[in-house]
């Protein structure tokens, strides 16, 4: 019989489910960008059209890896698996790669303040999910 002290808290479950929903929204954003139709693209301002037309494959790949690793990491948390931590680390590295391109490399479009704020929110959440999974492993909630 398992010790009840190794049972995850209610907060663990709530945060894990909210994190899964957050990462699913990321997958939806990725799919919207990856499968954007010409009609939708042409409706955007010219600078955004240039940005989307010039995004390198590695940046799109980083976006995909970030969001799918985040989703599967959350699934891992909900399944109480330690491998969730590895997926959250991969997600964070991919997010940083993507944002490095957006902030430091690309020159097609100026990054707005709201995009900067959201980018930092994404990074902070990715870091917090790593901490949550590590704490969960330390507490014996995941194995």
Sorted by where each begins, the domain ranges of the chain are 9-139
Tell me: the pLDDT tens digits for 8-41?
999 999 999 999 999 999 999 999 999 999 999 9
Instruction: Kindly list the distances between the CA atom of residue 140 and the CA atoms of 39, 42, 109, 134, 143, in Å, as whole numbers in the listed order.
Output: 51, 52, 46, 10, 7
Q: How far is CA 70 from the centre of its chain?
A: 5
Q: Is the pLDDT of residue 2 over 70?
A: no
Helix and strand numbers (H, E) in the chain are: 6, 0
Tell me: the pLDDT tens digits for 102-120?
888 887 778 788 888 999 9
> Whole-angstrom Cα distance, residue 17 to residue 5?
21
Backbone angles phi, psi at 129, to 5 degrees: -70, -35
pLDDT given at position 110: 80
What does pTM read for this prediction?
A: 0.90
């Amino acid at each position: 019989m398992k010790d009840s002290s190794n049972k995850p808290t209610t907060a663990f479950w709530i945060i894990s489910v909210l994190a899964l929903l957050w990462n699913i929204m990321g997958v939806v954003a990725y799919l919207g960008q990856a499968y954007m139709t010409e009609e939708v693209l042409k409706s955007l301002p010219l600078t955004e059209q240039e940005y989307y037309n010039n995004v390198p494959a590695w940046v799109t790949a980083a976006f995909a890896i970030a969001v799918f690793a985040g989703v599967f990491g959350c699934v891992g948390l909900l399944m109480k698996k330690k491998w969730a931590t590895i997926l959250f680390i991969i997600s964070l590295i991919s997010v940083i790669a993507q944002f490095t391109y957006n902030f430091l490399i690309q020159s097609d479009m100026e990054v707005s303040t709201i995009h900067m704020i959201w980018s930092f929110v994404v990074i902070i959440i990715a870091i917090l999910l790593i901490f949550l999974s590590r704490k969960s492993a330390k507490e014996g909630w995941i194995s």
